[in-house]
Each structure stands twice: as C-alpha cells, then as structure tokens.
Amino acid sequence: MKCYLCNATKFIKRKGQVRDNPDLKILECLSCGLVALNSHDHVRAGHYENSGMHENQNQIMELWFSETAEDDQRYSLSNHLYWVSRGQPGGHKEWESLNSPDLNDEYAKALEKIGKSDTIIGIFEKEN
C-alpha cells in the first residue's frame, strides 16, 4: 500500500486495534507520519452494498467511522470544473481566479452532505 499523503511505501505498525475489526492494522507512514488503516475497502460506503456477506462488517465500520472520522475536501470546484472541461488535473491552480475561501467552504460542505468528500480523516489514539 502507498501513503495517501506522500505516496511513501514504508510503514510501521502502531499498537492498538480497531474495535469490532481486529483484522485491520493501524499503520504509521515512516516518511510523513500519517496514521491510517491498512485497508480502506472496509469503510467505503456502498462498497459491499450488494454483497450481503460483508454487510454486518460494513455496518459496524460505518458506525465506527461516523463516530471517529471526519470528511475533508482537498480539491476545489475549480479543480473539478477543469477536469470536466479539459479532462486534466491541476485546475485549482490553472483556474485559481475561481477559488475563494467562501466558495471552497460551501463546495466542501455540499460534498460532505452527500457523502462525496474526496478525503476522510481518521484519528487513532493508543489506549493507555
């Protein structure tokens, strides 16, 4: 797996485990320090929607995630409009004039409301 922030591939395993899903590992990126789960498949809403086999696990993870994780939006509307218009990345820079803190905030809120934020932040603490 690659670090979601810096693409590094070396991790150390942190102590502690995800309650209700001990198979998940908690990893810390050796390069940037990001702490993340070793798999995101378990937390993608709708991923196992039609499977049934993982339904229970999926529900547990959604509940757990709704209590511990936050949505975050990395890319702005200008970035996405640029994708639609040109089919290329980098729109948040190319069309910087379309960015404003208010617009970016409102766009992030709108995406969060429909569960389509591009980033999920989870914070994990070691139990003492």
Alpha helices for 2-99 (secondary structure H): 55-68, 77-86, 91-94
> Which helix or strand (DSSP H or E) is residue 101 part of?
helix 101-113
User: Which is closer to Zn ion, CB of 29 or CB of 77?
Assistant: 29
* Tokens 């910087």, located at residue: 96
The only residue of 32, 63, 103, 121 in contact with Zn ion, by rule CB under 5 A? 32
Confirm or reject binding of residue 29 to Zn ion (CB under 5 A). Answer: yes
**How large is the C-alpha radius of gyration of the chain?**
17
Confirm or reject binding of residue 5 to Zn ion (CB under 5 A). Answer: yes
Closest C-alpha to 96, from 112, 83, 77: 77
The region of 20-28, 34-42, 45-53, 88-96 touching Zn ion under the rule CB under 5 A is 34-42
Confirm or reject binding of residue 35 to Zn ion (CB under 5 A). Answer: no
Tell me, by CB under 5 A, how many residues bind Zn ion.
8
User: Which is closer to Zn ion, CB of 6 or CB of 121?
Assistant: 6
Q: How far apart are CA 64 and CA 68, in angstroms?
A: 6
Confirm or reject binding of residue 24 to Zn ion (CB under 5 A). Answer: no
Q: Which residues bind Zn ion (CB under 5 A)?
A: 3, 5-6, 8, 29, 31-32, 34
